[in-house]
Structure 1
Amino acid sequence: MSTDLSTVSAVDRRRVAFATVVGTAVEWYDYFIYASAAGLVFGTLFFEPAGPGFGTILSFLTVGVSFLFRPLGAFLAGHFGDKVGRRPVLVATLILMGASTALIGLLPTYEAIGIGAPLLLVLLRILQGVSAGGEWGGAVLMAVEHAPRNRRGLFGAMPQIGVPIGLLMASAMMASMDALFPGDAFLDWGWRIPFLFSVVLILVGSWLRRSVEESPVFAEIAERKEQAKAPIVDLFARFTPLVLLSALVFVGNSAVGYMTTGGYIQRYATDPDGALGLDRGSVLWAVTVSSISWLLATLAAGWICDVIGRRNTYIVGWCVQGVFVLTLFPLVNTGSVVLLGVGLVLLTLGLGLTYGAQSVWYTELFPASVRFSGVSISYALGSILGGAFAPTIAQWIQQSTGSSMNVAYYLLGMTALGLVGTLLLRDRKGIDLSPASEAKQQVGIYAWEK
């Protein structure tokens, strides 16, 4: 018996796709609002005694520290997602993320309460990390496990495009607040409004997620009473190399992507003590435009990988990303906001090709009984090794060497690691995802297998 998708109507599939897009966009809006604020205001408001240079590094460290807690979120979500279902986990992560984000918007600054301010900021950022660690796996499985076999890539791209939509919303909101509350007004309280707005988004997102049916693959697992008693233990006992290689694939994308989503480029381009000192609002709008091109490239990758395969799409993507990593800083360093925007748009072409196919490839790599745990933990580990401290590392490289091209070489190295992970895994396009095919799902995973 294989999972019967014939009972899933086109309307149901569209509802699931829409719910995963909206829910993921809301989650990542919350996450990216923090990263944007970390690059623009948190160094001043929460780490002022450290001075402008070290205060910025500390601010970026708070972006990275949340990644250390993503595996905790992935472990918890994977355990419950493989035992009680995908949908309840998705609702819980959305509410946790929204509540943490709204509370950040209410925090007093260092000037008001001293050391308690950065400590509370870090605590809420940790809760964001726990939520983000559990969010992604559930969203992609709901999308891919509802999809027809020949369109899994396209359906899997739906939660993926929620990430650039989240960046678009976050950048546009910050740019709007900068325009409405210029100068000290933005620092005083204009930056807080995007955080508080998350309450509205969370109500919409949680309602949508509650409205969709449970994944048909998990429904069959539950019907057959084949839920793993200890999914995490089973995962690492049998598939540790797969988890590590899947994480390596994501390293190359997340390190490069967090140049904008982690706030580094925004800080680099607008730093009043730096060589550029560009207008904050203009840079935020350039990032907003690049998020649109990232969205389109990610969606295109979902369609492309249904035609040429997941692995081939990735290989093309790494080549494109490697080229445009090297053109990014020469364009940014011209001091032209337009050319900065061009550099970011070009970069998103490779980012989209190495992100749009990730949902479906991860889903097809892991067996049904440990799938939620596998995709969640691989994603969380990849984000730690790649994106977690990429803005901090980039800031350190820039300050230590005085050369932005050294930052580019670091990003090129991370891209090469992603390519290595890709070459060591097999394409499993169209494999049966149902628990009835669990035995077949455990073979033919690695490139070295016969």
Structure 2
Amino acid sequence: MTSRRVVNAAVIGSVVEFYDFTLFGLAAALVFNEQFFPSASPVAGTLGAFATFAVGFFARPVGGAVFSHFGDRVGRRQMLVVTLLLMGVSTAGIGLLPTYETAGLLAPVLLTLLRVAQGFGAGAEYAGALVMTAEASDPRRRGLWAALPGAGVSAGILLATLVFTGAAALPFFETWGWRVPFLLSLAGVGVGLYFRFRVPESEIFERERSRGLSRFPMLEVVRRQPRSLLIVFVANAPFGAMSYIIQVFVLSYVTRTLGLPATVGLLANVACAAVAIVAGPLFGLLSDRVGRRPVFLGGAAFLAVFGFPMFWLLGTGDPVLVIVAVVLGYGGGITAMFAAQAALYTELFQTRYRYSGIAIAREWTAALTSGPAPFVATALVAGAGGASWPIALLITVCAVISYVAVALAPETRDTDLDTYAGDLATYSPS
């Protein structure tokens, strides 16, 4: 029963986090350029909106450092309550903002500040949910259990896209209808808080507390497990870029460059999220059978090969082929990597600084690559006169880098989270 409560609490938080972040990405691609960044140049307005999207990722390492520190010092559960509340309130606040037309430059400034607050809370949300779930799971099914917050991520993406698509169909969407999806975030926060207040602290963490906790977990993980940090950092940086290019940039690309209706890109996101909800746990289960590395490497290899064909399919302008391209890219390659990395990352770090190690590596890479990815992709396409080959090449290179990083990592499937000493020098890739 306790394990189920932990999973429910972790998954609902992941749903809310990625509902909020996906919602902002969709609005940045389709709405914010006109509401907050009016310009004679459509490209300039889109770049301004994507720049604000990226700002949230720059706040994530700071939030990740703060909340993961206390997560390793005070407890996992308390921090998950705080991060969920901060994210939800910030997202609802965006739905109440004045536009540029009514408030001038104050409007984009307030949007940026709320995006920073949203990113600050998100900086430790998924890492905390992942740690809580992994530490509460049956070791024989840790890959499956750890993949469930990832399924929550996909559910959040799906929910945000469905809600935003429904709002986009409203005749008053351009005036105030776009605000409704942001205000609805408060409902998810209420449900999430209900579950999170009912879960106990991680038993593995409590046993670590009895042995003595680290005073400065971030410093200790850098000193004791630099190789683990480097592996996660190098694997996650290109992964995040690929993920947000497919989730966010492609929506803008098919709408503004290819001239397709916005509903085509939105339906593609709905389809790939629905596939990922099912495929993620299956990939996690597969990692329990064959190992974390083979599943991750398979997803990376697929994206390395599929980068150019994906944009060839997008370039046809056929709505069905556009949806197929996005589903294969995200629902296949990205989801396999995301599911396998969940258990892999938690198994690479000791309990005393597991939260900090994952948050540091994930959120710094998010700031450096995930957030700026749609902005960079937009600039590359504009510089290439609308050609997509620079983005296809970028995805191929990113996939190869992630593949190499995890190929050099140890296989961690049989790791005991409660006793693992974290000495990677005793491992060799297998």
Question: How would you bin the TM-score normalised by the shorter chain?
Answer: over 0.9
Separation in 2, partners of 1:172, 1:324: 27
Task: Tell me the CA shift for residue 98 of structure 1.
Answer: 0.3
| Per-residue deviation, 1:239 | 2.3
Distance 2:78 2:224 in 1: 27
Which SS does the other structure have where 1:432 is aligned? coil
Which residue does 1:221 correspond to in 2?
Answer: 208
C-alpha change, 1:130 and 1:79, in structure 2 (3 Å) is same
Match of 2:422 in 1: 441
CA contact (8 A) 2:33 2:46 kept: yes
1:365-384 equivalences under 5 Å are 365-384=348-367
The one-letter code sitting in structure 2 at the alignment partner of 1:375 is I
Comparing 324-333 with 397-406, greater Cα deviation is found at 324-333
* Structural mapping, 1:15-414, within 5 Å: 15-49=5-39, 51-179=41-169, 181-182=170-171, 185-224=172-211, 226-261=212-247, 263-271=248-256, 274=257, 276-348=258-330, 349-402=332-385, 403-414=387-398
Tell me how large the CA RMSD over aligned residues is. 1.6
In structure 1, what is the equivalent of residue 410 of structure 2?
426
Preserved contact between residue 73 and residue 129 of structure 1 (Cα < 8 Å): yes
- 1:447 Cα deviation after fit: 4.3
Specify the code of the residue in structure 2 equivalent to 1:414. C
- Does the 8 Å CA contact 2:13/2:125 hold for their aligned counterparts? no
Deviation at 1:242, TM superposition (A): 2.2
Q: What SS does the aligned partner of 2:39 have?
A: helix
**Residues 95 and 182, structure 2, Cα contact 8 Å, conserved in 1:** yes
Residue 445 of structure 1 deviates from its aligned partner by 6.7
Q: Which 10-residue stretch deviates more, 240-249 or 109-118?
A: 240-249
The residue number in structure 2 matching 1:4 is none
Distance in 2 (CA, whole Å) between partners of 1:170 and 1:445 is: 44
| 8 Å Cα contact 1:75/1:373 also seen in 2 | yes
Runs of 4+ in 1 over 6 A off after TM superposition: none
TM-score under structure 1 length normalisation: 0.92
Describe the SS at the equivalent of 2:225. Answer: helix
Cα deviations by residue, 1:322-378 (Å, 9 ceiling, x for unpaired): 222222211111112111110011112011110001121111101111111001111
Residues 135 and 305 of structure 1, relative CA distance in 2, 3 Å threshold: same
Decide whether the 8 Å contact of 2:246 with 2:329 is kept in 1. no
Query: In 2, Cα distance between the equivalents of 1:194 and 1:169?
Result: 10
Q: Measure how far apart 1:444 and its partner are.
A: 4.1
Bigger shift: 322-331 or 311-320?
322-331
Work out the percentage of aligned pairs sharing the same amino acid: 36
Please report how far the alpha carbon of residue 446 of structure 1 lies from its aligned counterpart in structure 2 after TM superposition.
6.1
Residues of 2 paired with 1:30 and 1:191: CA distance?
A: 13
SS in 2 for 1:258: helix
CA contact (8 A) 1:98 1:199 kept: yes
Structure 1 position 23, deviation (Å): 1.4
Secondary structure in 1 aligned to 2:245?
coil
- Asked if the contact 2:91/2:118 (under 8 Å) is kept, the reply is yes
- Give how far 1:245 is off: 2.0
Asked if structure 2 preserves the Cα contact closer than 8 Å seen for 1:423 and 1:447, the reply is no
Distance 1:417 1:95, change over 3 A: same
> Shift in Å at residue 313 of structure 1?
1.2
Distance 1:281 1:246 in 2: 35
**What's 1:5 paired with?**
none
CA contact (8 A) 2:296 2:337 kept: yes
**Contact 1:386/1:414, CA 8 A, preserved across alignment:** no
Q: Which runs of 5+ in 2 are unaligned?
A: none
CA contact (8 A) 1:102 1:199 kept: yes
1:220–1:300 CA distance, 2 compared to 1 (3 A) = same
Between the aligned partners of 1:241 and 1:126, the Cα distance in structure 2 is: 30
The answer to whether the Cα contact below 8 Å between 2:58 and 2:368 also exists between their aligned partners in 1 is no
Q: CA deviation at 1:417?
A: 1.2
CA distance in 1, matches of 2:118, 2:400: 29
Are 2:16 and 2:189, in contact at CA under 8 Å, matched by a contact in 1?
yes
Consecutive unaligned residues in structure 1, runs of 5 or more: 1-10
TM, length-normalised to structure 2: 0.96
391-400 vs 318-327, which moves further: 318-327
Aligned 8 A contact 1:47 1:118 in 2: yes
Structure 1 CA distance for aligned equivalents of residues 136 and 273 of structure 2: 27
Q: Is the 8 A contact 2:293 2:406 kept in 1?
A: yes
> How many residues end up aligned between the 2 structures?
428
> Which deviates the most, 290-299 or 361-370?
290-299
Distance 2:378 2:47 in 1: 7
Residues 26 and 202, structure 1, Cα contact 8 Å, conserved in 2 = yes
CA shift in 2, pair 1:78/1:390, >3 Å: same
